[in-house]
């Protein structure tokens, strides 16, 4: 059902993409999702002005996982020159493509006329796109929402202009800025963008099952699907979507013993990437997501949220996910 997407030198074999997510799609998570299978993984949104200042935390966000396959770097910002410079830096650091964020609804970002605010000022958006396209040889792509609000659904027209300015692929999250994350993503609207451009279009929003993925592609006519929150605590989910779209196969979730191993290796990778103090804290939200559906989820979350010893957290992970310990009984 899905065809490979070719943009420049990059081939996306099975276009099921992991969405850029600030605070989530760091190197450990991207690597894990990639290990199961995923067409392309994205960095967290990187503030271009912090990138050019070589802010240590920011540089860590675009730590490359090229060893495991291509990685897209997403940039946010409102100054064309700064965006261009940040794009060049990431090209040198091994990015497979540069994605421009025109979807982020957060005030800190939109207040600075970046993210989804750029959809309200198409001229400013195009100046940024042109500067970035000129700055790098890599493909430049765009991620946007449907528009600022339902009175201004300009994604199709902006997509058309962006394509003329050299953008090679467009992802659409089927919500407006004003919706933030409320309501339901409008998958059918994405077809309007698909019909406005020739470059590949990726459909995004609320895909949490393999059937959702098939349906968003059917109603939008898009060339690929991007998964965000559906991969929380389920790094294997994009690979299940790939299998379903390719062969109609419903790949089973990992067994409890496999899940315990996956969570443990993710935990170790987080501690290694961030160091023990920060890694232990960042891991808490992932552990909470992994626990969804476990019969002892709440007790597990309470325990790991106060536990300061990585060794004890790991013992808990091993016992709880492999179903060897019922915390309700242990309490």
Ligand X SMILES: Cc1cc2nc3c(=O)[nH]c(=O)nc-3n(C[C@H](O)[C@H](O)[C@H](O)COP(=O)(O)O)c2cc1C
- What is the spatial distance between Cα 186 and Cα 270, in angstroms, rounded to a whole number? 35
Q: What's the rounded Cα separation, in Å, for the pair 256 and 319?
A: 10
What DSSP string runs through 310-327? HHHHHHHHHHHHTT---H
Please, which of residues 223-282 interact with ligand X by CB under 6 A? 227-230
Q: What is the DSSP string of 20-43?
A: P-TTT-SHHHHHHHHHH--SEEEE
Establish if 212 lies at the interface with ligand X (CB under 6 A).
no
Residue 331, burial from CB neighbour count under 10 angstroms (0-12, 13-18, 19+): exposed
Q: Stretches 19-27, 59-67, 154-162, 238-246: which one binds ligand X (CB under 6 A)?
A: 19-27
Please calculate the CA angle 98-173-164 and round it to the nearest 5 degrees: 50
Catalytic one among 38, 65, 78, 104? 104
Does position 220 bind ligand X by CB under 6 A? no
The only residue of 24, 98, 213, 216 in contact with ligand X, by rule CB under 6 A: 24
Q: Under the criterion CB under 6 A, does residue 22 sit at the interface with ligand X?
A: yes
Of 15, 33, 36, 44, the residue at the interface with ligand X (CB under 6 A) is 44
Say if residues 144 and 155 touch (Cβ distance below 8 Å). Answer: yes
DSSP reduced 3-state for 7: strand
Q: Which of 2, 32, 191, 207 binds ligand X (CB under 6 A)?
A: 207
Closest alpha carbon to 300 in 322, 328, 258? 328
User: In the complex, what is the shortest distance from the CB of residue 299 to ligand X, in angstroms, rounded to a whole number?
Assistant: 25
# chain residues binding ligand X, by CB under 6 A: 22
Residues 72-111 within binding reach of ligand X (CB under 6 A): 74, 101, 103-104
Q: Which is nearer to ligand X, 160 or 229 (CB)?
A: 229
Which region, judged by CB under 6 A, interacts with ligand X, from 21-29, 132-140, 215-223, 318-326?
Answer: 21-29
Minimal distance in Å, beta carbon 262 to ligand X?
A: 20
CB closer to ligand X, 208 vs 297 = 208
Is 320 within 8 Å of 290 (Cβ atoms)? no
How many CA atoms within 13 Å lie on the side-chain side of 135?
Answer: 22
> Which lies closer to ligand X via its Cβ, residue 21 or residue 316?
21
Q: How far apart are CA 323 and CA 142, in angstroms?
A: 43
Q: Which of 163, 186, 206, 212 binds ligand X (CB under 6 A)?
A: 206
Alpha-carbon gap, residue 248 to 10, rounded angstroms: 26
Distance in angstroms (rounded) separating the CA atoms of residues 265 and 268: 5
Q: x/- string (CB under 6 A) for ligand X, residues 176-205?
A: ----------------------------xx
Q: How far is the CB of 77 from ligand X (least distance, A)?
A: 12
Q: How far is the CB of 300 from ligand X (least distance, A)?
A: 21
Q: How far is the CB of 108 from ligand X (least distance, A)?
A: 12
38 as an active site residue: the answer is: no
Binding site for ligand X (CB under 6 A): 19-24, 44-45, 74, 101, 103-104, 143, 173, 204-207, 227-230
Catalytic residue list:
104
């Amino acid at each position: 059902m899905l065809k490979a997407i070719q943009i420049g030198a990059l081939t996306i074999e099975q276009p099921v993409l992991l969405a850029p997510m600030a605070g989530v799609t760091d190197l450990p998570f991207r690597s894990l999702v990639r290990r199961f299978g995923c067409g392309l993984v994205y960095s967290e949104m990187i503030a271009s002005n912090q990138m050019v200042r070589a802010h240590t935390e920011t540089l860590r966000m675009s730590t490359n996982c090229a060893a495991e396959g291509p990685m897209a770097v997403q940039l946010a910002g409102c100054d064309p020159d700064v965006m261009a410079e940040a794009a060049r830096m990431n090209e040198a650091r091994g990015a497979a493509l540069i994605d421009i964020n025109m979807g982020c609804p957060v005030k800190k970002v939109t207040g600075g006329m970046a993210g989804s605010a750029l959809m309200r000022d198409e001229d400013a958006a195009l100046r940024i796109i042109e500067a970035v396209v000129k700055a790098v040889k890599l493909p430049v792509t765009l991620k946007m929402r449907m528009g600022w609000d339902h009175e201004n659904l300009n994604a199709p027209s902006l997509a058309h202009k962006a394509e003329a300015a050299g953008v090679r692929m467009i992802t659409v999250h089927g919500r407006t800025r004003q919706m933030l994350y409320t309501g339901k993503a409008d998958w059918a609207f994405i077809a309007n963008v698909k019909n406005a451009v020739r470059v590949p279009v990726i459909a995004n929003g609320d895909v949490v099952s393999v059937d959702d993925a098939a349906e968003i592609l059917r109603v939008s006519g898009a060339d690929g699907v991007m998964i965000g929150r559906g991969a929380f605590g389920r790094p294997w989910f994009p690979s299940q979507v790939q299998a379903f779209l390719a062969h109609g196969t419903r790949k089973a979730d990992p067994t409890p013993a496999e899940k315990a191993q996956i969570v443990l290796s993710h935990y170790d990778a987080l501690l290694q990437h961030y160091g023990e103090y920060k890694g232990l804290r960042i891991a808490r939200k992932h552990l909470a997501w992994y626990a969804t559906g476990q019969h002892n989820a709440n007790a597990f979350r309470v325990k790991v949220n106060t536990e300061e010893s990585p060794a004890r957290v790991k013992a808990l992970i091993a016992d709880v996910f492999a179903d060897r310990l019922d915390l309700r009984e242990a309490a």
